[in-house]
Structures are given as structure tokens and as C-alpha cells.
Amino acid sequence: MSSIKEKKAYMTLDQSSMPNFNSSWVNYKGAWATTLFIIVLLKTLFSVIPFISPEASWTLTNLTFNIGQYIMFHWVQGIPFENHQGAYDGLTLWEQIDGGVQFTATRKFFTFVPIALFILSTHYTHYDVLLLIINFAPLLLVLVAKLPVMHRVRVFGIGKIDHVDDD
């Protein structure tokens, strides 16, 4: 049976053998613009629904975007391509971005966007305490998942993938 150090070395070699097409797209400025476009689209969509107040539309925009970002960046693991032979199976998209290097421009952007959206939502909901709490909860969820200390950490083992050795 291989030691843990050997397994980590093989994973590193597998991950560096080819570019990761699953996470490389987030480095493009078009992806950043698309993120901002999605926020504007969500806000517009929630604003045109009858009987939804502007405060509720900002809150729904914040909730929808942050929950969507959490699922996309911090919940789904692996890659949809078969050419990496399982090298990224246990990693979320956030853990794959820039090879796991912390505090890159891409990571800073995707950390800043939920914070800015929270500030906008809080301002346009007129600092209502209930809406502030509702807007803060998904922000906290997304920001805690982005912390460097949470890299490769699965809270309560949720989402942990156990690899089976064929020895």
C-alpha cells in the first residue's frame, strides 16, 4: 500500500500533466464580465416580477447569486472531462482555480463580488435588520468556504470522496 506522501506526489504529477480546462476559464476577463452580467440579469428578472418590492428583489438577487456561486465553486467536485484520470476528483472548482494558489487576482475578484453585492443589497434594503440577516447568511456561507484554512476541508465529512485502492 502506498504512503500518503506518495499518493500526494502522484496527484501533483497528474494535475500538472495537462492544463485544467475546468478551472482555467475563470481567469478570463470575459468570465468576470459574465459574472457581473448574471447579477444584473438576476436583479432585472426579480425587478420585473409583479408584487416584488425593490428590497425583496435585491435580497433575492443576493440569495440566488450566492447560493449559485456556492454550489458552482464550493459544492460540485471533480471535472466533467475524462482526460485527467481522476486527478481532480476530490477538488471543488475553487480548489482547482490557479492550482490552489491563494490570493490570486481571480480569487480576489470572486471574493469581492459577493461582498459588493451584499453591500448593495444592504444599502437598497435601507439597512432593515431582518433583510440584513437574510442577506448576510449566504455571504457568510460563501466567504467561509473561500478562506484558505478551508482549502480541501469537508465540514462534517459532507462531500468527501473516498478513493478505493486497487492494490
The pLDDT tens digits of the residues spanning 89-114 come to: 788 889 888 888 899 999 999 999 99
Task: Report how far apart, in Å, the C-alpha atoms of 57 and of each of 22, 140, 143 are.
Answer: 32, 20, 22
- Looking at the predicted structure, is the pLDDT value of residue 7 above 70? no
> Which is higher by pLDDT, 16 or 25?
25
pLDDT in tens, 142-159: 999 999 998 888 776 666
